[in-house]
Protein backbone atom coordinates (compact mmCIF):
# COMPACT_ATOMS: atom_id res chain seq x y z
CA UNK A 1 0.00 0.00 0.00
CA UNK A 2 1.35 3.42 -0.91
CA UNK A 3 1.62 6.19 1.66
CA UNK A 4 -1.29 8.05 0.04
CA UNK A 5 -3.51 4.98 0.37
CA UNK A 6 -2.46 4.49 3.98
CA UNK A 7 -3.52 8.03 4.77
CA UNK A 8 -6.79 7.62 2.84
CA UNK A 9 -7.63 4.40 4.64
CA UNK A 10 -7.04 6.03 8.04
CA UNK A 11 -9.28 9.05 7.32
CA UNK A 12 -13.08 9.25 7.40
CA UNK A 13 -13.58 12.71 6.00
CA UNK A 14 -11.33 13.77 3.12
CA UNK A 15 -11.11 17.10 1.30
CA UNK A 16 -9.28 17.51 -2.03
CA UNK A 17 -8.00 20.92 -3.15
CA UNK A 18 -5.91 22.35 -6.01
CA UNK A 19 -4.71 25.72 -7.23
CA UNK A 20 -6.66 28.85 -8.19
CA UNK A 21 -7.60 29.13 -11.82
CA UNK A 22 -7.50 25.32 -12.06
CA UNK A 23 -6.09 23.86 -15.27
CA UNK A 24 -6.40 20.41 -16.82
CA UNK A 25 -3.68 18.89 -14.65
CA UNK A 26 -5.12 20.28 -11.45
CA UNK A 27 -8.72 19.32 -12.27
CA UNK A 28 -7.63 15.90 -13.59
CA UNK A 29 -5.61 15.14 -10.47
CA UNK A 30 -8.34 16.27 -8.06
CA UNK A 31 -11.02 14.24 -9.83
CA UNK A 32 -8.76 11.22 -10.29
CA UNK A 33 -8.17 10.87 -6.56
CA UNK A 34 -11.84 11.70 -5.92
CA UNK A 35 -13.03 8.88 -8.20
CA UNK A 36 -10.44 6.49 -6.83
CA UNK A 37 -11.60 7.10 -3.25
CA UNK A 38 -15.29 6.85 -4.19
CA UNK A 39 -14.69 3.54 -5.95
CA UNK A 40 -12.21 1.95 -3.58
CA UNK A 41 -13.29 3.44 -0.26
CA UNK A 42 -17.04 3.91 -0.72
CA UNK A 43 -17.67 4.57 2.98
CA UNK A 44 -15.45 7.66 3.10
CA UNK A 45 -16.84 11.16 2.86
CA UNK A 46 -14.88 12.93 0.13
CA UNK A 47 -15.27 16.40 -1.38
CA UNK A 48 -13.36 18.23 -4.12
CA UNK A 49 -13.14 21.97 -3.50
CA UNK A 50 -11.98 24.04 -6.46
CA UNK A 51 -12.83 27.27 -8.24
CA UNK A 52 -15.39 26.74 -11.02
CA UNK A 53 -13.86 24.66 -13.82
CA UNK A 54 -14.14 25.31 -17.58
CA UNK A 55 -17.11 23.58 -19.24
CA UNK A 56 -14.84 21.58 -21.55
CA UNK A 57 -13.90 19.36 -18.58
CA UNK A 58 -17.51 18.33 -17.97
CA UNK A 59 -16.77 14.84 -19.38
CA UNK A 60 -14.63 14.05 -16.33
CA UNK A 61 -16.50 11.91 -13.84
CA UNK A 62 -17.26 13.89 -10.70
CA UNK A 63 -16.91 17.28 -12.40
CA UNK A 64 -20.51 18.13 -11.50
CA UNK A 65 -19.79 17.32 -7.84
CA UNK A 66 -17.03 19.90 -7.42
CA UNK A 67 -17.83 22.31 -4.63
CA UNK A 68 -16.71 25.89 -5.28
CA UNK A 69 -16.96 27.22 -1.75
CA UNK A 70 -14.20 26.62 0.78
CA UNK A 71 -16.37 26.43 3.89
CA UNK A 72 -17.03 22.88 5.07
CA UNK A 73 -17.74 23.51 8.75
CA UNK A 74 -16.60 20.02 9.61
CA UNK A 75 -12.86 19.76 9.71
CA UNK A 76 -11.48 17.07 7.44
CA UNK A 77 -9.26 14.27 8.75
CA UNK A 78 -7.17 14.53 5.62
CA UNK A 79 -6.61 17.31 3.09
CA UNK A 80 -5.04 16.24 -0.23
CA UNK A 81 -3.43 19.16 -2.08
CA UNK A 82 -2.73 18.62 -5.77
CA UNK A 83 -0.69 20.58 -8.33
CA UNK A 84 -0.40 23.68 -6.15
CA UNK A 85 3.18 24.93 -5.82
CA UNK A 86 2.54 26.75 -2.58
CA UNK A 87 -0.12 27.42 0.00
CA UNK A 88 -0.97 30.84 -1.47
CA UNK A 89 -1.88 29.21 -4.80
CA UNK A 90 -4.64 27.30 -2.99
CA UNK A 91 -6.36 30.70 -2.79
CA UNK A 92 -9.51 30.71 -0.66
CA UNK A 93 -9.21 26.93 -0.22
CA UNK A 94 -6.07 27.27 1.92
CA UNK A 95 -8.46 27.24 4.87
CA UNK A 96 -9.30 23.58 4.09
CA UNK A 97 -5.62 22.71 4.54
CA UNK A 98 -5.31 24.80 7.70
CA UNK A 99 -8.37 23.20 9.30
CA UNK A 100 -7.59 19.59 8.36
CA UNK A 101 -6.16 17.28 11.01
CA UNK A 102 -3.57 15.94 8.55
CA UNK A 103 -2.46 16.77 5.02
CA UNK A 104 -0.52 15.50 2.05
CA UNK A 105 0.62 17.45 -0.99
CA UNK A 106 1.26 15.73 -4.33
CA UNK A 107 2.93 17.99 -6.85
CA UNK A 108 5.58 18.44 -9.55
CA UNK A 109 6.65 22.09 -9.07
CA UNK A 110 10.34 22.51 -8.35
CA UNK A 111 9.54 25.60 -6.26
CA UNK A 112 7.20 23.70 -3.91
CA UNK A 113 8.50 24.26 -0.35
CA UNK A 114 6.61 21.25 1.05
CA UNK A 115 3.79 23.11 2.81
CA UNK A 116 1.68 20.10 3.86
CA UNK A 117 2.40 17.65 6.67
CA UNK A 118 3.66 15.15 4.11
CA UNK A 119 4.82 16.05 0.63
CA UNK A 120 5.39 13.96 -2.47
CA UNK A 121 7.02 16.31 -4.94
CA UNK A 122 8.58 15.04 -8.16
CA UNK A 123 9.95 18.09 -9.99
CA UNK A 124 10.91 16.07 -13.07
CA UNK A 125 7.44 14.63 -13.57
CA UNK A 126 5.37 15.91 -16.50
CA UNK A 127 2.34 16.63 -14.36
CA UNK A 128 0.78 16.27 -10.94
CA UNK A 129 -1.30 13.48 -12.50
CA UNK A 130 1.88 11.53 -13.27
CA UNK A 131 3.01 11.86 -9.63
CA UNK A 132 -0.45 10.89 -8.44
CA UNK A 133 -0.50 7.81 -10.70
CA UNK A 134 2.58 6.53 -8.86
CA UNK A 135 0.70 6.91 -5.56
CA UNK A 136 -2.24 4.74 -6.65
CA UNK A 137 -2.58 1.01 -7.19
CA UNK A 138 -2.46 0.61 -10.97
CA UNK A 139 -4.65 -2.48 -10.95
CA UNK A 140 -7.45 -0.60 -9.17
CA UNK A 141 -7.48 2.45 -11.46
CA UNK A 142 -10.85 2.50 -13.23
CA UNK A 143 -11.58 3.85 -16.69
CA UNK A 144 -13.09 6.99 -15.11
CA UNK A 145 -10.01 7.61 -12.99
CA UNK A 146 -7.80 6.89 -16.00
CA UNK A 147 -9.66 9.56 -18.01
CA UNK A 148 -8.88 12.12 -15.33
CA UNK A 149 -5.19 11.17 -15.11
CA UNK A 150 -4.77 11.11 -18.89
CA UNK A 151 -6.40 14.53 -19.17
CA UNK A 152 -3.96 15.99 -16.65
CA UNK A 153 -0.93 14.45 -18.35
CA UNK A 154 -1.82 15.70 -21.83
CA UNK A 155 -2.57 19.20 -20.58
CA UNK A 156 0.67 19.70 -18.67
CA UNK A 157 2.82 18.00 -21.29
CA UNK A 158 1.22 19.87 -24.23
CA UNK A 159 0.11 16.45 -25.53
CA UNK A 160 3.46 14.77 -24.83
CA UNK A 161 5.68 17.39 -26.42
CA UNK A 162 7.16 19.51 -23.61
CA UNK A 163 10.52 18.26 -22.49
CA UNK A 164 9.10 17.32 -19.11
CA UNK A 165 7.69 14.32 -21.02
CA UNK A 166 9.75 11.21 -20.28
CA UNK A 167 9.66 7.56 -21.20
CA UNK A 168 7.84 7.02 -17.91
CA UNK A 169 5.17 9.56 -18.93
CA UNK A 170 4.56 7.55 -22.09
CA UNK A 171 4.51 4.26 -20.17
CA UNK A 172 1.88 5.64 -17.82
CA UNK A 173 -0.12 7.01 -20.76
CA UNK A 174 0.03 3.50 -22.27
CA UNK A 175 -1.23 1.93 -19.05
CA UNK A 176 -4.09 4.44 -18.97
CA UNK A 177 -4.96 3.68 -22.61
CA UNK A 178 -5.27 0.03 -21.62
CA UNK A 179 -8.13 1.04 -19.34
CA UNK A 180 -10.19 1.67 -22.47
CA UNK A 181 -10.25 5.45 -22.49
CA UNK A 182 -11.09 7.32 -25.69
CA UNK A 183 -7.75 9.12 -25.79
CA UNK A 184 -8.36 10.78 -29.16
CA UNK A 185 -11.60 12.36 -27.96
CA UNK A 186 -9.97 13.49 -24.71
CA UNK A 187 -7.16 15.22 -26.61
CA UNK A 188 -9.46 16.84 -29.16
CA UNK A 189 -12.26 17.85 -26.83
CA UNK A 190 -10.28 19.18 -23.91
CA UNK A 191 -7.10 20.42 -25.60
CA UNK A 192 -7.59 21.40 -29.24
CA UNK A 193 -11.29 22.07 -29.73
CA UNK A 194 -12.18 25.76 -29.65
CA UNK A 195 -15.44 27.64 -29.75
CA UNK A 196 -15.83 30.24 -32.46
CA UNK A 197 -15.26 32.99 -29.88
CA UNK A 198 -12.14 31.33 -28.54
CA UNK A 199 -10.78 31.14 -32.09
CA UNK A 200 -11.63 34.80 -32.65
CA UNK A 201 -9.87 36.01 -29.52
CA UNK A 202 -6.82 33.91 -30.37
CA UNK A 203 -6.83 35.44 -33.85
CA UNK A 204 -7.00 38.89 -32.34
CA UNK A 205 -4.13 38.15 -29.92
CA UNK A 206 -1.93 36.83 -32.74
CA UNK A 207 -2.81 39.69 -35.07
CA UNK A 208 -1.86 42.29 -32.48
CA UNK A 209 1.23 40.52 -31.17
CA UNK A 210 4.51 42.40 -31.28
CA UNK A 211 7.97 40.90 -31.56
CA UNK A 212 10.98 42.48 -29.87
CA UNK A 213 14.62 41.74 -29.01
CA UNK A 214 15.32 40.87 -32.66
CA UNK A 215 12.31 38.61 -32.94
CA UNK A 216 13.47 36.41 -30.07
CA UNK A 217 10.55 37.55 -27.93
CA UNK A 218 6.92 38.20 -28.65
CA UNK A 219 4.13 39.59 -26.54
CA UNK A 220 0.43 40.07 -26.84
CA UNK A 221 -2.09 41.59 -24.49
CA UNK A 222 -5.84 41.17 -24.17
CA UNK A 223 -7.69 43.85 -22.24
CA UNK A 224 -10.95 43.47 -20.39
CA UNK A 225 -12.77 45.50 -23.02
CA UNK A 226 -11.56 43.05 -25.69
CA UNK A 227 -12.81 40.14 -23.62
CA UNK A 228 -16.17 41.85 -23.24
CA UNK A 229 -16.35 42.59 -26.96
CA UNK A 230 -15.74 38.94 -27.90
CA UNK A 231 -17.84 37.63 -24.99
CA UNK A 232 -15.02 35.52 -23.55
CA UNK A 233 -13.55 35.00 -20.10
CA UNK A 234 -10.09 33.97 -18.94
CA UNK A 235 -10.73 30.28 -19.53
CA UNK A 236 -11.22 31.08 -23.24
CA UNK A 237 -7.63 32.28 -23.55
CA UNK A 238 -6.00 28.86 -23.21
CA UNK A 239 -3.53 28.06 -25.95
CA UNK A 240 -2.76 31.62 -26.98
CA UNK A 241 0.65 31.78 -25.32
CA UNK A 242 1.55 28.41 -26.81
CA UNK A 243 0.68 29.66 -30.29
CA UNK A 244 2.92 32.70 -29.69
CA UNK A 245 5.74 30.43 -28.55
CA UNK A 246 5.52 28.45 -31.78
CA UNK A 247 6.39 31.48 -33.91
CA UNK A 248 9.55 30.85 -35.87
CA UNK A 249 12.60 32.40 -34.22
CA UNK A 250 10.82 33.17 -30.97
CA UNK A 251 12.57 31.96 -27.83
CA UNK A 252 10.28 33.53 -25.28
CA UNK A 253 6.56 34.33 -25.50
CA UNK A 254 4.63 36.59 -23.15
CA UNK A 255 0.87 36.74 -22.98
CA UNK A 256 -0.93 39.15 -20.70
CA UNK A 257 -4.59 39.53 -19.93
CA UNK A 258 -6.12 42.18 -17.78
CA UNK A 259 -7.67 40.84 -14.59
CA UNK A 260 -8.36 44.16 -12.88
CA UNK A 261 -7.54 47.82 -13.03
CA UNK A 262 -3.86 48.01 -14.01
CA UNK A 263 -3.46 44.34 -13.08
CA UNK A 264 -2.37 41.67 -15.55
CA UNK A 265 -2.07 37.91 -15.39
CA UNK A 266 1.16 37.00 -17.15
CA UNK A 267 1.87 33.72 -18.95
CA UNK A 268 5.44 32.99 -20.01
CA UNK A 269 6.75 30.26 -22.30
CA UNK A 270 10.22 29.56 -23.70
CA UNK A 271 11.84 27.12 -26.12
CA UNK A 272 15.45 26.37 -25.19
CA UNK A 273 17.25 29.08 -23.27
CA UNK A 274 15.27 31.31 -20.94
CA UNK A 275 14.28 29.83 -17.58
CA UNK A 276 10.90 31.54 -17.35
CA UNK A 277 10.29 30.19 -13.83
CA UNK A 278 13.07 32.56 -12.71
CA UNK A 279 11.40 35.49 -14.46
CA UNK A 280 8.00 34.64 -12.94
CA UNK A 281 9.47 34.04 -9.48
CA UNK A 282 11.18 37.44 -9.61
CA UNK A 283 7.75 39.02 -10.01
CA UNK A 284 6.12 36.93 -7.28
CA UNK A 285 4.88 34.01 -9.38
CA UNK A 286 6.36 30.64 -10.28
CA UNK A 287 6.04 27.59 -12.47
CA UNK A 288 8.40 25.55 -14.58
CA UNK A 289 11.51 26.23 -16.68
CA UNK A 290 9.55 26.41 -19.96
CA UNK A 291 6.13 27.50 -18.66
CA UNK A 292 5.51 29.92 -15.83
CA UNK A 293 3.25 32.73 -14.73
CA UNK A 294 2.70 35.61 -12.35
CA UNK A 295 0.42 38.58 -11.74
CA UNK A 296 1.79 42.09 -12.28
CA UNK A 297 0.43 45.56 -11.71
CA UNK A 298 0.97 48.80 -13.60
CA UNK A 299 0.47 50.17 -17.05
CA UNK A 300 0.96 47.31 -19.55
CA UNK A 301 3.91 49.09 -21.18
CA UNK A 302 5.66 49.10 -17.80
CA UNK A 303 4.79 45.44 -17.28
CA UNK A 304 6.31 44.52 -20.66
CA UNK A 305 9.36 46.71 -20.06
CA UNK A 306 9.99 45.11 -16.68
CA UNK A 307 9.59 41.61 -18.07
CA UNK A 308 11.73 42.24 -21.14
CA UNK A 309 14.58 43.74 -19.09
CA UNK A 310 14.62 40.55 -17.07
CA UNK A 311 14.28 38.20 -20.04
CA UNK A 312 17.02 39.98 -21.96
CA UNK A 313 19.52 39.12 -19.23
CA UNK A 314 18.57 35.44 -19.43
CA UNK A 315 18.55 35.34 -23.23
CA UNK A 316 22.33 35.17 -23.41
CA UNK A 317 21.70 31.86 -21.79
CA UNK A 318 23.80 29.20 -20.33
CA UNK A 319 24.36 26.51 -22.96
CA UNK A 320 24.14 23.86 -20.24
CA UNK A 321 20.46 24.65 -19.88
CA UNK A 322 19.84 23.28 -23.34
CA UNK A 323 21.40 20.00 -22.42
CA UNK A 324 19.33 19.57 -19.33
CA UNK A 325 15.80 19.24 -20.63
CA UNK A 326 14.28 18.07 -17.35
CA UNK A 327 15.23 21.06 -15.26
P1 LIG B 1 -0.11 29.44 -17.18
O2 LIG B 1 0.73 30.38 -17.98
O3 LIG B 1 -0.62 28.32 -18.02
O4 LIG B 1 -1.17 30.14 -16.38
O5 LIG B 1 0.85 28.79 -16.11
C6 LIG B 1 2.02 28.09 -16.47
C7 LIG B 1 2.66 27.51 -15.25
O8 LIG B 1 3.02 28.54 -14.33
C9 LIG B 1 1.79 26.55 -14.47
O10 LIG B 1 2.59 25.46 -14.08
C11 LIG B 1 1.32 27.32 -13.27
O12 LIG B 1 1.18 26.47 -12.19
C13 LIG B 1 2.44 28.33 -13.06
N14 LIG B 1 1.87 29.61 -12.63
C15 LIG B 1 1.07 30.43 -13.35
N16 LIG B 1 0.76 31.52 -12.65
C17 LIG B 1 1.37 31.40 -11.46
C18 LIG B 1 1.41 32.23 -10.27
O19 LIG B 1 0.82 33.30 -10.19
N20 LIG B 1 2.15 31.74 -9.22
C21 LIG B 1 2.82 30.55 -9.29
N22 LIG B 1 3.52 30.16 -8.22
N23 LIG B 1 2.80 29.77 -10.37
C24 LIG B 1 2.08 30.17 -11.44
MN1 LIG C 1 0.61 20.78 -13.16
- Beta-bridged to residue 47, according to DSSP, are 15
List, edge to edge, every strand of the sheet that includes 291-297. 210-212, 217-222, 252-260, 263-270, 291-297, 286-287
Residue 317: its pLDDT value, please? 65
Distance CA 174, CA 171 (A): 5
Residue 152: its pLDDT value, please? 98
Q: Give distance in angstroms: CA of 290 to centre of ligand 1.
A: 11
**Ligand nearest to C-alpha 281:** 1
Residue 294: its pLDDT value, please? 97
Q: What is the pLDDT of residues 102-116, one digit of tens each?
A: 999 999 998 899 999
Residue 72: its pLDDT value, please? 61
The residue to mutate among 287, 288, 296, 297, having the most atoms of ligand 1 within 8 angstroms of its beta carbon, is 287
Residue 71: which pLDDT band, with cuts at 50, 70 and 90? confident
Distance CA 268, CA 158 (A): 14
Residue 163: which pLDDT band, with cuts at 50, 70 and 90? confident
Distance CA 280, CA 260 (A): 19
What is this structure's pTM? Answer: 0.90
Q: Give distance in angstroms: CA of 261 to centre of ligand 1.
A: 21
The mean pLDDT of 68-92, rounded to a whole number, is 91
Q: Give distance in angstroms: CA of 190 to centre of ligand 2.
A: 15
The per-residue b/e assignment along 7-30, b for 16 or more CB within 10 angstroms, e otherwise, is bbeebebbbbbbbebbbbbbbbbb
**Would the CB of 116 count as within 6 Å of ligand 1?**
no
Residue nearest to atom 15 of ligand 1 (CA): 293
The residue to mutate among 293, 303, 327, having the most atoms of ligand 1 within 8 angstroms of its beta carbon, is 293
Distance CA 143, CA 187 (A): 16
Sketch out the chain's domains with CATH numbers: 3-192 (3.90.1640.10), 198-315 (3.10.310.30)
- Beta-bridged to residue 268, according to DSSP, are 254, 292
Amino acid sequence: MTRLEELISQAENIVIVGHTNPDGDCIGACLAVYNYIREQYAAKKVTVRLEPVPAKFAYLSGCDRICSVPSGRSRADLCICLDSADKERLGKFAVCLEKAAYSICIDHHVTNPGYARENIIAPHASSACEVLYECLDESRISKKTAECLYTGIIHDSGVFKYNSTTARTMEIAGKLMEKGIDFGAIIDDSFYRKTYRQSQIMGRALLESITFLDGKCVFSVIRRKDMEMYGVDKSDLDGIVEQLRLIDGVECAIFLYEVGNLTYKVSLRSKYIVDVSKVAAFFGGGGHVRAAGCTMTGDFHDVINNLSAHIEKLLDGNPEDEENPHD
